[in-house]
Structure 1
């Protein structure tokens, strides 16, 4: 058996497979991924902290599955994310991280909580009377999309366009697609980049109170124009995709475990345990800069390496009885869904705030939430993400 994103089990329930790897082949060469895989918690964490041997440079540009025609269509943007903060090593990483962190101060993040609560209440005002909805399509995404758009500075009229393009962004680079579909997605992606580019140019001329204006003000001093475009593009991915996916995964888990609604005093830890057991992010890629000897296996220099945070979060040496959901698990927040070390996600505080606030509001407004009768559950297929395209619920 190998990592195989075309199989449903790969995303939905890979844990027996990952457990065998941790016990028998902790450094595993995946032919399907074309990469070595680290599955033990200690090894994943050590690799995150070792930028000298496990380089981030180019690690997010997972375009090896793209056809030559698609690469030609993308041109210079085939290496998109080449300067994104999670895709570079120090000293570039240090400079980019310092710039981005200016927008994620504790005060700034806290100020967003009230607005996000209002956005969740607005959605529920519209759907609560119906007694039934697709949680993913009709509840989970809109508040996060709107909050992220306001934070970045995307006009309300453009939110739907950005959300659609971000989905195409994800499919093109992080999910296997047939050749014809790749070309369609490539065209959409180039349109998206052009949009973000024009937003940056507009804010340079007429600054507003938003993230884009703050980053644009640093062009020429700390950042390049391209770096700003890529930062904005990727934060939009988190708000339009990763956070809503995690909320969907979390609500499904809580409903299945009979833990709904979550008492307010348990929400913060419940969020961490949901991320641990059903993380929306499955891992990060790195490149070995030198031959790395680990558990009797040599990872040759230049090889791609997947740091499987999904496996690490189910490592029984760190999380006793890891397949069991424990809402008050003492070390639930030791998961690495947000990465670790210098590449710890710059938006982690905002993501956690959104998840806590959403569960708080949803629990208060829809205490009788349950899975719809006969609802089928299937995860979308992806190399690095876990998310539900649909989740029918009733109340």
Structure 2
């Protein structure tokens, strides 16, 4: 019987559900020595914690630099606390101010306009790839449309897309995935190069505004936002488009192929995408700090303790999702998962993320109805504290 979380083990990301089910039943508030954190595993507790920022504080919760060596922290300097002023990493009133600013770019009209662009990007990609009959879904299909859409939204020139994608991958590994000391130093160098790039992009838009997110946020510097806040906002939205959304699409396609549910009939696409996010979420949870001494299910959580809100476990809570490990393409309450968070920190880009997933499934299902897994491959997930994603997925059609 596995007794603790183990981010370095393959089972932890690929199939932790028997372990999580035991926790929900026997130890719903679990002290993980491996994570150095208390873990909330039941749906009701995770949702309540998301909704109670006064007791479960976001202040500094994304700054996961605890695994960094002293040498790496010294190299990062002031940026060792990167994301310290990002919207998901602060409490009100700063959170209220930041979210109000970001929301100006995610209006329903703006998101709807991006749907047509994203659909076209997928069609263009398949025009090139479809005649070939095979691909690595992760590296050749899943990422490109989302990377390009995000770049255009932010204002990254097309010539810089590959640069941004590679450096975003490095900063994810540095802050959100355990790495040996020498690799940390390499990644820290890459991260500093990336921050310098975003900094220069912000400065360029301040001098010469365009019709993009960076220009909109830059126009608010001095009134609503600081320069650093804008840099961190841009950096983190680029992470979502370059990493989280494509990872969810890869997880989703693998699930649908394994369940013999491909292609998804158009009327079922929205529900199927929610069920795939529930059962194979790209986001596994969020960290918080206990803002006071807390007692939950008889377990004392001292003030200042780190707490993991396990949305992955919550999405498999049998009291909310009957037979939770079974894929049900039209599960009526699938969308009650918390992959995008909950409460005041509900992901500001959730509507865009959902739109991308639905649109990709529609286009791919129509263009590649015979999509299937290539035989003989070993499917493994990358190791991460908070994310689930595939480094590779070989497919044929």
Confirm or deny a common fold (TM above 0.5): yes
Which of 71, 81, 92 is the aligned partner of 2:73? Answer: 71
Which of 363, 371, 374 is the aligned partner of 2:373? Answer: 371
Q: For residue 37 of structure 1, give the secondary structure of its aligned residue in structure 2.
A: strand
In structure 1, the partner of 2:218 is 216
Structure 1 CA distance, aligned partners of 2:207 and 2:355? 32
In structure 2, the partner of 1:390 is 392
Structure 1 CA distance, aligned partners of 2:281 and 2:88? 18
In structure 1, the partner of 2:102 is 100
Measured against aligned partners, the alpha-carbon deviations of 1:223-262 in whole angstroms (never above 9, x if no partner) come to: 0000000000000000000000000000000000010000
Q: For residue 290 of structure 1, give the secondary structure of its aligned residue in structure 2.
A: coil
Displacement of 1:373? 1.2
In structure 1, the partner of 2:119 is 117
Displacement of 1:375? 2.0
In structure 1, the partner of 2:254 is 252
Give the unaligned 5+ runs of structure 1. none
RMSD after superposition: 0.4
Which of 133, 136, 145 is the aligned partner of 2:135? Answer: 133
In structure 2, the partner of 1:83 is 85
Is 1:204 matched with 2:206? yes
In structure 2, the partner of 1:337 is 339
In structure 1, the partner of 2:318 is 316
In structure 2, the partner of 1:300 is 302
Structure 2 CA distance, aligned partners of 1:238 and 1:114? 19
In structure 1, the partner of 2:24 is 22
Displacement of 1:122? 1.0
Q: For residue 346 of structure 1, give the secondary structure of its aligned residue in structure 2.
A: coil
Structure 2 CA distance, aligned partners of 1:127 and 1:200? 35
Measured against aligned partners, the alpha-carbon deviations of 1:265-294 in whole angstroms (never above 9, x if no partner) come to: 100011100000000000000000111100
Displacement of 1:374? 1.0
Is 1:59 matched with 2:61? yes
Structure 2 CA distance, aligned partners of 1:64 and 1:164? 23
Aligned length: 395
Q: For residue 38 of structure 2, give the secondary structure of its aligned residue in structure 1.
A: strand
Structure 1 CA distance, aligned partners of 2:380 and 2:211? 40
In structure 2, the partner of 1:269 is 271
Structure 1 CA distance, aligned partners of 2:108 and 2:167? 30
Measured against aligned partners, the alpha-carbon deviations of 1:47-99 in whole angstroms (never above 9, x if no partner) come to: 00010010000000000000000000000000000000000000000000000
Measured against aligned partners, the alpha-carbon deviations of 1:186-210 in whole angstroms (never above 9, x if no partner) come to: 0000000000000000000000000
In structure 2, the partner of 1:6 is 8
Q: For residue 390 of structure 1, give the secondary structure of its aligned residue in structure 2.
A: coil
Structure 1 CA distance, aligned partners of 2:180 and 2:375? 34
Give the unaligned 5+ runs of structure 2. none
